[in-house]
């Protein structure tokens, strides 16, 4: 007799690849984690080494200047000057100031403006420092009580502390990345998902939240928030032809503006008697393309000028499998429709990585004719209106959304317009599972 228990053991293994997609293999998550581990360890190491060096070379000496150096007065004994150091790419300027001071009963000669021996790419800045010291004048200076020969004229250089930001950034990336990678290594995927829910504010078993009542179903408010004029809801349109026209118009304007600029420059040189024929010949194809864009835009605008918006209203939303709904189809504009088709469609959509590409695959799994008409006249003063009944198939899968997968329902409108371009418009529908008790999502019925 077969045991009611399923007996199974599956060990976690280091897999070198995931799914095989065509002739390519997706990368392994484990190997990616190992790569991340190396990367963040390297960041941590670089950050730690840089931190040690910067602290040893810059921060500690500057800290000693601020905390332990003794203040005294000094006298500038030579005309302050400038020293120029020429490197491969740029020159650096350094003020040279020689001063005399007394410490522990002895006289010392100092030449350091600051402890970092700063040089400046800006000559003006170096000159400003030089000009702030005059020969024979007295100024404060600071010397090291342990080594009175070491002194500076400027004790407040903050550069040493700013330098700390570089290793701190590396250390933050290294620590954060390592922590995240180790967390991924040591935590199961299920636990991470549960923690992510908590972090997102979705408590498991929290019955009061809408998202918990219908998890993995697209948010309904965005679709149902638009009331209709005759029926309860007006379905939003998924894509507007106007946006396509707008994008082409913007592209045409940008293209022709750039071409016009070069044409202007070319003509100005011709008028000045310095004609650049190479430029003018090179501009010719760009000019032709610009003219073609204008013609294309004008034709598109003319074709679409009489096509008004399409409106679909429904008596209740979201919808449920096996139920029927009143539907109102409205087409405005001024045109003759050779044919008009309204279909109910369900489409599966998947997103996956193939190499560095993100591919979206889609497949229609349900298509049902809702309304079909021919030779429909639409006048500006009298839009075409058609009342119909929409039946959602009883076996329909509900709408679904997750980060890489989606099942979406829509009313798809396709029209062929007499002597003009046809159009295709989609109106998303949200289908929720049937037989839900204590459901608060259903819209008001008209």
Distance CA 172, CA 170 (A): 5
Please tell me whether residue 139 adopts helix, strand or coil conformation. Answer: strand
Told to check if 7 binds other proteins by CB under 8 A, we report yes
Among 104, 361, 381, 440, binds other proteins (CB under 8 A): 361
Told to check if 331 binds other proteins by CB under 8 A, we report no
Q: Are 407 and 348 in contact (CB under 8 A)?
A: yes
Told to check if 397 binds other proteins by CB under 8 A, we report yes
The window from 240-248, 260-268, 383-391, 393-401 that contacts other proteins (CB under 8 A) reads: 393-401
Among 320, 398, 420, 425, binds other proteins (CB under 8 A): 398
Please tell me whether residue 308 adopts helix, strand or coil conformation. Answer: strand
Query: Is there a cis peptide before residue 97, judged by omega within 30 degrees of 0?
Result: no
Q: How far is the CB of 12 from other proteins (least distance, A)?
A: 6
Going by their DSSP bridges, the two strands 81-86 and 70-76 should be labelled as: unpaired
Nearer to other proteins, 36 or 348 (CB): 348
Task: Quickly list DSSP for 59-89.
Answer: IHHHHHHHHTPEEEEEEE-S--EEEEEE-SS
The window from 10-18, 155-163, 223-231, 377-385 that contacts other proteins (CB under 8 A) reads: 10-18
Q: Which of 139, 147, 164 is nearest to 47 (CA)?
A: 164
Q: What is each CA distance from 325 to 232, 320, 343, in whole angstroms? A: 11, 10, 14
Told to check if 75 binds other proteins by CB under 8 A, we report no
Q: How far is the CB of 235 from other proteins (least distance, A)?
A: 18
Q: Which residues is 373 bridged to in the sheet?
A: 340
Told to check if 188 binds other proteins by CB under 8 A, we report yes
Nearer to other proteins, 171 or 344 (CB): 344
- Read off φ and ψ for residue 73, nearest 5 degrees: -105, 150
Q: How far is the CB of 426 from other proteins (least distance, A)?
A: 9
Among 231, 314, 390, 407, binds other proteins (CB under 8 A): 407
- Read off φ and ψ for residue 47, nearest 5 degrees: -60, -45
Q: How far is the CB of 129 from other proteins (least distance, A)?
A: 55
Secondary structure (H, E, C), 345-382: EEEEEEEEEECCEEEEEEEEEEEEEEEEEEEEEECCCC
Told to check if 312 binds other proteins by CB under 8 A, we report no
The strand ranges marked E within 99-252 are: 99-103, 106-110, 138-144, 147-152, 233-234
Q: How far is the CB of 254 from other proteins (least distance, A)?
A: 23
Q: Which of 261, 282, 263, 283 is nearest to 271 (CA)?
A: 263
Number of residues that bind other proteins (CB under 8 A): 64
Nearer to other proteins, 358 or 445 (CB): 358
Q: Are 93 and 120 in contact (CB under 8 A)?
A: yes
- The b/e string for 69-103 (b: 16+ C-beta within 10 A; e otherwise) is beeeebebeeebeeeeeeeeeeebbbbebbbebeb
Nearer to other proteins, 308 or 434 (CB): 434
Q: What is each CA distance from 204 to 110, 296, 322, 402, 444, in whole angstroms? A: 71, 55, 30, 17, 29
Nearer to other proteins, 105 or 403 (CB): 403
Among 348, 383, 386, 388, binds other proteins (CB under 8 A): 348
Among 2, 3, 105, 146, binds other proteins (CB under 8 A): 3
Told to check if 395 binds other proteins by CB under 8 A, we report yes
Among 358, 375, 377, 389, binds other proteins (CB under 8 A): 358
Told to check if 31 binds other proteins by CB under 8 A, we report no
Distance CA 325, CA 446 (A): 10
Told to check if 360 binds other proteins by CB under 8 A, we report yes
Nearer to other proteins, 312 or 342 (CB): 342
Q: Which of 72, 93, 96, 73 is nearest to 84 (CA)?
A: 93
Q: How far is the CB of 238 from other proteins (least distance, A)?
A: 11
Nearer to other proteins, 22 or 156 (CB): 22
Told to check if 211 binds other proteins by CB under 8 A, we report no
Q: How far is the CB of 367 from other proteins (least distance, A)?
A: 5
Among 2, 11, 20, 419, binds other proteins (CB under 8 A): 11
Q: Which chain residues interact with other proteins by CB under 8 A?
A: 3-12, 188-191, 193-194, 197, 204-205, 212-217, 341, 343, 345, 347-353, 357-367, 395-398, 400, 402-407, 412, 414, 432-433, 435-437
């Amino acid at each position: 007799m077969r045991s009611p228990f399923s007996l199974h053991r599956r060990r976690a293994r280091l897999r070198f690849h995931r799914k095989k997609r065509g002739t390519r293999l997706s990368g392994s998550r484990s190997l990616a984690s190992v790569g991340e581990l190396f990367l963040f360890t390297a960041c941590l190491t670089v950050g730690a080494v840089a931190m040690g060096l910067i602290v040893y070379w810059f921060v500690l000496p500057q800290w000693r200047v601020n905390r332990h150096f003794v203040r005294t007065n000094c006298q500038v004994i030579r005309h302050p000057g400038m020293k120029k150091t020429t490197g491969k790419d740029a020159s650096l300027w350094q003020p040279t100031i020689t001063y005399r001071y007394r410490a522990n009963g002895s006289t010392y000669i100092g030449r350091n403006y600051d402890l970092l021996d700063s040089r400046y790419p800006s000559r003006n800045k170096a000159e400003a420092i030089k000009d702030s010291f005059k020969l024979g004048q007295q100024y404060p200076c600071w010397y090291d009580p342990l080594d009175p020969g070491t002194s500076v004229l400027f004790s407040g250089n903050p550069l040493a502390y700013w330098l700390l930001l570089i290793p701190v950034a590396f250390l933050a990336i290294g620590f954060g990345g390592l922590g995240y990678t180790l967390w991924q290594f040591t935590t199961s995927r299920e636990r991470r998902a549960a923690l992510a829910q908590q972090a997102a504010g979705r408590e498991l078993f929290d019955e009061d939240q809408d998202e918990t009542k219908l998890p993995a179903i697209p948010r309904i408010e965005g679709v149902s928030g638009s009331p209709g004029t005759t029926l309860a809801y007006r379905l939003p349109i998924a894509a507007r032809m106007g946006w396509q026209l707008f994008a082409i118009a913007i592209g045409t304007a940008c293209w022709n503006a750039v071409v016009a600029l070069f044409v202007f420059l070319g003509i100005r040189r011709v008028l000045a008697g310095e004609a650049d024929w190479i430029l003018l010949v090179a501009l010719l194809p760009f000019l032709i393309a610009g003219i073609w864009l204008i013609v294309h835009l004008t034709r598109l605008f003319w074709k679409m000028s009489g096509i008004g918006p399409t409106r679909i209203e429904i008596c209740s939303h979201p919808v449920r499998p096996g139920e029927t709904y009143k539907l109102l189809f409205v087409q405005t504009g001024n045109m003759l429709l050779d044919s008009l088709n309204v279909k109910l469609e369900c489409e599966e959509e998947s997103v996956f990585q193939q190499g560095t590409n993100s591919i979206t695959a889609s497949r229609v799994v349900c298509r049902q004719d809702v309304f079909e008409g021919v030779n429909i006249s639409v006048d500006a003063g009298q839009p075409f209106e058609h009342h119909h009944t929409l039946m959602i198939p009883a076996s329909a899968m509900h709408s679904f959304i997750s980060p890489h997968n989606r099942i979406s329902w829509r009313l798809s409108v396709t029209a062929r317009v007499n002597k003009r371009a046809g159009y295709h418009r989609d109106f998303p529908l949200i289908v929720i599972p049937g037989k839900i008790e204590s459901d608060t999502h259903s819209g008001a019925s008209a």
